[in-house]
A and B are shown apart, each in its own frame.
Chain A
Amino acid sequence: MELRFTDAEASFRDEVRAFLAAELPEATRQHLISGKSPTKEMVVEWQKKLNAKGWAAPEWPVEHGGPGWTPAQKYIFREELQMWPAPSPLGFNINMCGPVIIQFGTQEQKERFLPRMRNLDDWWCQGFSEPGAGSDLAGLKTKAVLENGEWVINGQKTWTTLAQHADWIFVLARTDPAAKKQEGISFFLVDMKTPGITVRPIITIEGGHEVNEVFFDDVKVPANLLVGEVNKGWDCAKYLLGNERFGQARVGASRERIRRLKTIAKETMDGGRPLIDDPEFRRQVTEMEVELKALEMTVMRVIANETKRAGTGKPDPATSVLKIKGTEIQQGVSELLMKAAGPYAWVDGDPDAEGTNEWDVAPDWAFGLAGIYFNWRKQSIYGGSNEIQRNIMAKAFLGL
């Protein structure tokens, strides 16, 4: 039993920090510390730098441009980026579509898409959810019909994150209407410039434009852009969702937010003293820190298992904890950040605006904290809602 990082892992952490210090623009860092989402330009610029270093696709095999890291190194890299904070490599490219192409794609697809994905020459988005298929994803209705050697897609996707930036979309569509739910679905790669695609923004409760509806109206897709076998797209979808495991814990991101919260709570006055000196507030922060420490150790256990089993073993019950606890902590901290701002949390600014607080009506640090709180309610809904996670646990681990 050895419950610490090795010296080699500790020096890898230093190497990541040194790279962040040297290469990440300070403006991007400050933008993220304020709690805002990175702009498209920030993400693209950063990922190109990561790719030049060979670090853009931590999870990919070396032959496709992965760095060949151990699970512990991947964890350290991810956490250090979140803590800095720096943008993470674009998940749609690196953690979702890329691995599916590596696992199920043709040689032609790999050569055509993977290098551009890694370098973020193409921004990908995810066409899974539909108005009638949310948690019950296999209930999707978007159809693809083979006509004259081309697939023709009709239907509607929704909650398509950052489709407004996207060059390509990966799409689940029904290719055999007669088959049972999961069995007649295929996985397509679709150029967003194809005629018949319409993107319509969905403005979420905090006022941000993050998600979209994407409509497919006789969209023609060449046959060589179907991934894997016809009607086996559900295998790709399951594989993709299975890769999400660690991603949702976001321990580093929560630690960065708690650090921010404490900084703010030291400067904010409450009852004539700094807010951090209020025992009740401090206790609420501490509860988050304690749960986060446990989550950090849970992630380590999952990683240690991963190293040992090289991904071949049965799922570890600890993995199911990551999504539920990870999102509960992030939501809890976002709530405390909003509370720290008190009445100055009420300014309703444009969360996508470049500058912050242009009207000078509240302290800079308070700006947008309520927006993040509202926006982060999504976390326990997406990626398999936390209730779906409990259903999975009951079935897979509890035998109920």
Chain B
Amino acid sequence: MDFDLNESQALLQDSVRKSLTAKYGFENRKAYMAGETGWSREMWAQYAELGLLGLPFSEEDGGFGGGPEETMLVAEQMGRHITLEPWFSTVVLGGGLLRHGADAALRGELVPAIASGEALISLAQQERQSRYDLFDVTTTAKKDGSGWAITGRKGMVLHGDTADWFVVSARVAGGQRDKSGIGLFLVSAKAPGVEVRGFRMVDGGRAAEVDFTNARAHAVLGEAEGGLPILDRVVDEAIAALAAEAIGAMDVVHATTLDYMKTRQQFGRAIGSFQALQHKAADMLVAIEQSRSMAYFATMAAQGSNAFERRNNMHAVKAQIGRSQRFVGQQSIQLHGGIAMTMEYGAGHYFKRLTVNEAMFGDTDHHLRALADAGGLVQAA
């Protein structure tokens, strides 16, 4: 066992850290959020320059051949600065869908454009009734000559308002909650019949509601009726990235809280000298260290080839980190007191990001129940 970074991983971590430390302070972030797209094109270009946008793709596809460990390192740094750019939606989700679902020709068409920062992809899977079930799909895909026509409404499409492409989960066959008969379709945002309504999310990120009305698909990812296993696999990898992002955000908000406890004076002494508060801060550290362990586990487990086992492991990851990040977020506000309730102070922004991160692709309750229903991690004797 070895949790150390190799030389190129250390270099990667260092370059991302330097770049974000220099250009992603609290005031920078506020300015990016207020900009036209709600995030920074300049930073996006910088990510491309650092190789982050092509990182997980193979070199023959035009990427840099990074693995889950590299994604984890980048995600953690993104979490430390609660960045706003569509790295998660385009590179982790979109990139994962292309890696696992697209054929070589399609990868050849899109990967170089993603790696250079020109193309943005968003996953459109959420529906009003589907909650956290990826297989609960009413959007339809109908054969239309040699192609497919997509009809339906997708919600909470991350960065959907700036996406050039959508990967849409749509039903080709079967009933609303059947696990087979679901396809993944690549649809251009400019295609006729695509209507996008963007909005800001509570954590400062952007998303969109997207209506597809007989929109023609540019391509199918994998088999037209066999998209769900691809989607499941990509989401499992995305959960590992979310885990690492949560660690980054928790580390920063915990450090901010400790700094404040050391400087804020009440009753003639630093509030950090009070034992009741110290124990809360210690419990935050316990939660964070357990989560950090789980984020490593996620990075390892997301590579598992047994889908059932992999899914159960990711349920455990989401459940453990979910509960921890809620605790850490809430306590960071509580230990600060009133100052952290203000928009002008950083902690609240981390709390909001942690809150959204917890529920992304299933909240703690969802994953605990799913893992319990699947029989848990330990087998009876």
| B-binding residues in A (CB < 8 A) | 1-6, 72, 255, 258-260, 262-263, 265-266, 276, 279, 282-283, 285-287, 289-298, 300-301, 303-305, 307-308, 317-318, 320-321, 324-325, 387, 389-391, 393-394, 397-400
Contacts of A318 in B (CB 8 A): 289, 292-293
Binds A, one of B14-22, B200-208, B277-285: B277-285
Check if A399 sits within 8 Å of B381, measured CB to CB: no
Check if A2 sits within 8 Å of B258, measured CB to CB: no
Q: In whole angstroms, how far apart are the Cα atoms of A321 and B272 in the complex?
A: 20
Interface SS of A by simple majority: helix
Binds A, one of B45-53, B104-112, B163-171, B294-302: B294-302
- Best-buried of A5, A259, A297, A301 by chain B (most CB within 10 Å): A297
Query: Which residue of chain B has the shortest Cβ distance to A387 in the bound complex?
Result: B279
Contacts of A290 in B (CB 8 A): 316, 319-320, 368, 371, 377
Q: In whole angstroms, how far apart are the Cα atoms of A300 and B290 in the complex?
A: 12
Contacts of B293 in A (CB 8 A): 294-298, 300-301, 318
CB distance from A261 to the nearest CB of B (A): 8
| Given A304-B3, A393-B282, A400-B281: A297 in contact with B297 (beta carbons within 8 A) | yes
The number of A-B residue pairs with CB atoms under 8 Å apart is: 158
CB distance from A263 to the nearest CB of B (A): 4
B211 on the interface (CB 8 Å rule)? no
Binds A, one of B4-12, B180-188, B325-333, B344-352: B4-12
Q: 0/1 per residue, B36-55, Cβ < 8 Å to A?
A: 00000000000000000000
Check if B278 sits within 8 Å of A262, measured CB to CB: no
CB distance from B124 to the nearest CB of A (A): 31
Query: Which residue of chain B has the shortest Cβ distance to A75 in the bound complex?
Result: B1
| A-binding residues in B (CB < 8 A) | 1-6, 9, 69, 258, 261-262, 272-273, 275, 277-279, 281-283, 285-286, 289-294, 296-297, 299-300, 316, 319-320, 368-369, 371-373, 376-381
Check if A394 sits within 8 Å of B320, measured CB to CB: no
Check if B275 sits within 8 Å of A262, measured CB to CB: no
Check if B379 sits within 8 Å of A262, measured CB to CB: yes
Q: In whole angstroms, how far apart are the Cα atoms of A279 and B372 in the complex?
A: 8
Cross-interface CB contact of A398 among B69, B258, B373, B376, cutoff 8 Å: B258
Cross-interface CB contact of B297 among A287, A293, A304, cutoff 8 Å: A293
Check if B2 sits within 8 Å of A304, measured CB to CB: yes
Q: Could you show 19 A-B contacts with beta carbons less than 8 Å apart?
A: A1-B4, A6-B1, A260-B381, A262-B378, A279-B373, A286-B368, A289-B371, A291-B290, A294-B290, A295-B293, A297-B297, A300-B293, A304-B4, A389-B282, A390-B278, A391-B279, A394-B278, A394-B281, A400-B272
Contacts of A259 in B (CB 8 A): 378-381
CB distance from B282 to the nearest CB of A (A): 4
Check if A390 sits within 8 Å of B279, measured CB to CB: yes
Query: Which residue of chain B has the shortest Cβ distance to A297 in the bound complex?
Result: B293
Cross-interface CB contact of B285 among A285, A303, A398, cutoff 8 Å: A398
Contacts of A298 in B (CB 8 A): 289-290, 293
Query: Which residue of chain A has the shortest Cβ distance to B274 in the bound complex?
Result: A400
CB distance from B294 to the nearest CB of A (A): 5
Q: In whole angstroms, how far apart are the Cα atoms of A325 and B291 in the complex?
A: 12
Cross-interface CB contact of A3 among B279, B296, B373, B377, cutoff 8 Å: B296
Check if A325 sits within 8 Å of B283, measured CB to CB: no
Check if B289 sits within 8 Å of A321, measured CB to CB: yes
Cross-interface CB contact of B262 among A325, A387, A397, A399, cutoff 8 Å: A399
Contacts of B373 in A (CB 8 A): 279, 282
Contacts of A400 in B (CB 8 A): 258, 261-262, 272-273, 277-278, 281
Check if A285 sits within 8 Å of B372, measured CB to CB: yes
Check if A4 sits within 8 Å of B368, measured CB to CB: no
Check if B4 sits within 8 Å of A320, measured CB to CB: no
Cross-interface CB contact of A1 among B2, B378, B380, cutoff 8 Å: B2
Check if A266 sits within 8 Å of B380, measured CB to CB: yes
| Given A279-B369, A304-B1, A400-B261: A289 in contact with B380 (beta carbons within 8 A) | no
Q: In whole angstroms, how far apart are the Cα atoms of A310 and B297 in the complex?
A: 24
- Best-buried of B2, B283, B290, B300 by chain A (most CB within 10 Å): B290
Contacts of A5 in B (CB 8 A): 1
| Given A283-B369, A290-B371, A294-B291: A262 in contact with B376 (beta carbons within 8 A) | yes
Q: A283-B369, A287-B368 are in contact. List 18 more A-B contacts (CB 8 A).
A: A2-B1, A2-B2, A3-B2, A5-B1, A279-B369, A279-B372, A293-B297, A296-B293, A301-B293, A308-B4, A317-B285, A317-B289, A320-B285, A320-B289, A325-B286, A390-B278, A394-B278, A400-B262
